[in-house]
Amino acid sequence: MTYLAIVRHGQSVWNLENRFTGDVDVDLTPQGEAEARQAGQLLKPYPVDSAYTSILKRAIRTLAIIEEQTGQTSLPVTQSAALNERSYGSLQGLNKDDIAKQYGVVQLDKWRRSYDEVPPQGESLEHTYGRVIPYFGSEIEPKLKAGQRVLIVAHGNSLRSLMMYLEQISPTDIAKTELATGVPRLYEFDADMKLTNATYLSVHQPSTPQ
């Protein structure tokens, strides 16, 4: 069976502090490291042939911890800025509660969740989709079509872009789609690369070794 596993990095320092992080290169918290270890345990029954990550350390470290937990420490790993988190421009480093007070909750939600709203000097989700999906199509999808099993460790918005593509989520519905830190999502494909199943791996549900 061909499958793709995606994991949003574990909690970062700025996640904890409720700041806009974007493409600022902040590290994991101790909780983020624990989330990465749990993700690795959940992924143990799903060995992969190669892995991809962004060039930001919170994703790179999450992948390294997952590799340790699964025992796949010699995986071929590709790092690409195409998988980086979207830039929030001048909002980066600012507290989200403060932004809500200054601009209103509605505007905050548009900047955080909408498909085409552009933060000041930043990227929209649409812009992020425009770099993630071509990269996926040229670099990762051919491996899946060849029967390889792939792991991607990246960020909330780069992975939400991929979820839109794989699950045919509309620009309207993606605003209501969240991806928790450190929770693997598994996509299974048939021989024709038709998506047959998409599920979150959880400690509350058994995983079946493949």
Catalytic annotation, pick one of 35, 67, 85, 123: 85
Catalytic residue among 9, 67, 123, 155: 9
Integer CA distances (angstroms), 51 to 44, 67, 144, 148, 204, in order: 14, 10, 12, 11, 25
| Annotated binding-site residue? 104 | no
Is 8 labelled as part of a ligand binding site? yes
As given in the structure block, the two tokens for residue 209 are 């070794």
Pairing of strands 195-200, 185-189: antiparallel
User: Is 85 within 8 Å of 140 (Cβ atoms)?
Assistant: no
The answer to whether 185 is a known ligand-binding residue is: no
Q: Is 12 annotated as a binding residue?
A: yes
The answer to whether 14 is a known ligand-binding residue is: yes
Q: Cα(30)–Cα(68) distance, rounded to whole angstroms?
A: 16
The reply, when asked if residue 194 is annotated as ligand binding, is no
Q: Is 9 a catalytic residue?
A: yes
Return the amino acid letter for 7.
Answer: V
Enter the tokens of residue 114: 């909408």
**Residue 40 marked in a binding site:** no
Residue labelled with tokens 């909690």: 11
Binding residues for substrate: 8-15, 21-22, 58, 85-88, 96, 112-113, 156-157
Binding residues: 8-15, 21-22, 58, 85-88, 96, 112-113, 156-157
Supply the residues annotated as catalytic.
Answer: 9, 85
